[in-house]
Amino acid sequence: MRVQCVICDEIEELTDDTLEAKRLRNRPIHTHLCKQCHDRITARTEVRLATGRFHFFRSSRSIEDDF
Ligand SMILES: [Zn+2]
């Protein structure tokens, strides 16, 4: 499956049996971060999740429909 980074729009190919692929398939909103963006914002993400004001991943994008 193909996934698109919600930050930099880079498209990556995920092997279907990876944990992330399974996780993304099981969610109504498919979200993905490329490794670079993930590493960059992980700390910030955790802070926002903790505050309950985390909206960053709420993209309505559904790029899989394009394939
Ligand atoms: Zn990225």
Q: pLDDT for 45-65, tens place per residue? A: 667 667 665 555 555 555 555
Q: Bigger pLDDT: 5 or 46?
A: 5
Indicate the average pLDDT of the chain. 74
Distance 23 CA to ligand 1 centre (A): 18
Residue pLDDT, tens place only, 9-40: 998 888 888 887 888 777 645 678 888 888 88
SS (H, E, C) the chain: CEEECCCCCCEEECCCCCHHHHHHHCCCCCCCCCHHHHHHHHHHHHHHHHHCCCCCCCCCCCHHHHC
Q: Is the pLDDT of residue 8 over 70?
A: yes
Q: Which of 55, 54, 56, 14 is nearest to 35 (CA)?
A: 14
Distance 62 CA to ligand 1 centre (A): 16
Distance 44 CA to ligand 1 centre (A): 15
